[in-house]
Copies of this chain bind each other. A is one copy, B any other.
């Protein structure tokens, strides 16, 4: 087992207090003894016990990250980028994946974070008022990613504008019947995080301004997964008048959409344009037009904001609202002119 302060103190002929101060570069230690203490600590392979200093200072040196289902690409990415920032700043990262409702309840009911972390990063899950209260009661610094919690420090993307932009792209191409596939709050509430409702609003707004009123029939919501996207597209395919384009709220769902279309022999983008959202790592290979929203940046910036809240010197940074960027690839094109009159897919 590693040695303790006392060992170092004795070997260095100073008191433990001096060792403590020397090692943490606090004032009140002469240059000379500081060097000596450092050297001896090194020799002895001394590494301060976290538990000890935690107890004494109340600081834990750790940040908790609470996130929805990690197997979603988005959360993996964000976790990775946030984690790097935190670790670079010298913090440990404590991971709380709220993979299902049970886990979520356990987390919020359970064993208070105070004493485990110095701050909390909350990813894209809209805490209920009670949950928020629980979080606050620990009074730890909080930073939110993606959730619309007003007045809280964090980062989010301008979903409204992004929704508009995606819709505009399709409108500009000449589409008139543009469907929307949104993310439905999963039965298991934490699965996909909080659905980005504003994407829908932006979409509606753009369509309305263009004089297009698709109506309810062309708005479907499904679970955020390939399977969900697949189902959603199937539903859209039996609409009274099928759309010629569809804006899908996540790339993973868009993958499902593409699968369904392929299975149905519907050519993309010949018969149907598809635009996704995320710029998923693999959307490139599927040649999916999508909205990029700098996922990694979201993670790192949220982390940075939390750190600013924690370290006394750094001034609190203002909230960040990122705007998404259209990435044009091969799944969007002008509508096939005969669309709506045909019942059979033409050769590609």
Provided the pairs A76-B71, A285-B256, A285-B286 are in contact, do residues A84 and B112 lie with their beta carbons within 8 angstroms? Answer: no
Residue from B1, B259, B285 within 8 A of A258 (CB atoms) = B285
Provided the pairs A76-B76, A84-B97, A84-B103 are in contact, do residues A285 and B116 lie with their beta carbons within 8 angstroms? Answer: no
Check A99 for interface membership: any CB of B closer than 8 A: yes
Whether B2 and A112, one on each chain, are in contact in the complex, defined by CB atoms closer than 8 angstroms, is: yes
Q: Which residues of B contact A93 (CB under 8 A)?
A: 94-95
Closest to A100 in B: B84
Residue from B47, B65, B103, B286 within 8 A of A87 (CB atoms) = B103
Whether B99 and A70, one on each chain, are in contact in the complex, defined by CB atoms closer than 8 angstroms, is: no
Whether A80 and B87, one on each chain, are in contact in the complex, defined by CB atoms closer than 8 angstroms, is: no
Provided the pairs A71-B80, A76-B76, A255-B285 are in contact, do residues A94 and B94 lie with their beta carbons within 8 angstroms? Answer: yes
Check A343 for interface membership: any CB of B closer than 8 A: no
Check A115 for interface membership: any CB of B closer than 8 A: yes
Residue from B50, B115, B255 within 8 A of A116 (CB atoms) = B50
Closest to A280 in B: B282
Check A79 for interface membership: any CB of B closer than 8 A: yes
Provided the pairs A80-B97, A84-B97, A285-B259 are in contact, do residues A115 and B70 lie with their beta carbons within 8 angstroms? Answer: no
Whether B60 and A71, one on each chain, are in contact in the complex, defined by CB atoms closer than 8 angstroms, is: no
Whether B95 and A83, one on each chain, are in contact in the complex, defined by CB atoms closer than 8 angstroms, is: yes
Residue from B49, B70, B284 within 8 A of A76 (CB atoms) = B70
Binds B, one of A51-59, A153-161, A317-325: A51-59
Least CB distance from A193 to B in Å reads 14
Number of copies: 2
The contact size tier of chain A is 35 or more
Q: Which residues of B contact A30 (CB under 8 A)?
A: none
Mark out the residues of chain A between 37 and 82 whose CB falls within 8 Å of any chain B CB in the assembled complex.
47, 49-52, 54-55, 58, 60, 62, 65, 69-71, 73, 76-77, 79-80
Whether B226 and A281, one on each chain, are in contact in the complex, defined by CB atoms closer than 8 angstroms, is: yes
Check A114 for interface membership: any CB of B closer than 8 A: yes
Whether A49 and B115, one on each chain, are in contact in the complex, defined by CB atoms closer than 8 angstroms, is: yes
Q: How far is the CA of A92 from the CA of B114 in the complex (A)?
A: 13
Least CB distance from A280 to B in Å reads 9
Check A216 for interface membership: any CB of B closer than 8 A: no
Check A311 for interface membership: any CB of B closer than 8 A: no
Q: How far is the CA of A19 from the CA of B132 in the complex (A)?
A: 30
Check A111 for interface membership: any CB of B closer than 8 A: yes
Q: Which residues of B contact A94 (CB under 8 A)?
A: 62, 92-95
Instruction: Identify the 4 closest CB pairs spanning chains A and B, nearest first.
Output: A76-B76, A51-B54, A70-B80, A51-B55
Q: List 9 A-B contacts (CB under 8 A).
A: A50-B116, A51-B55, A51-B60, A70-B79, A70-B80, A79-B95, A87-B103, A226-B284, A255-B285
Chain A interface residues toward B at CB < 8 A: 1-2, 47, 49-52, 54-55, 58, 60, 62, 65, 69-71, 73, 76-77, 79-80, 83-84, 87, 92-97, 99, 103, 111-112, 114-116, 226, 255-256, 258-259, 281-282, 284-286
What 17 new A-B contacts, CB under 8 Å, besides A51-B55, A71-B80? A2-B114, A47-B115, A51-B51, A51-B54, A51-B115, A52-B55, A70-B79, A70-B80, A70-B83, A73-B73, A80-B97, A92-B94, A93-B94, A94-B95, A255-B285, A259-B285, A285-B286
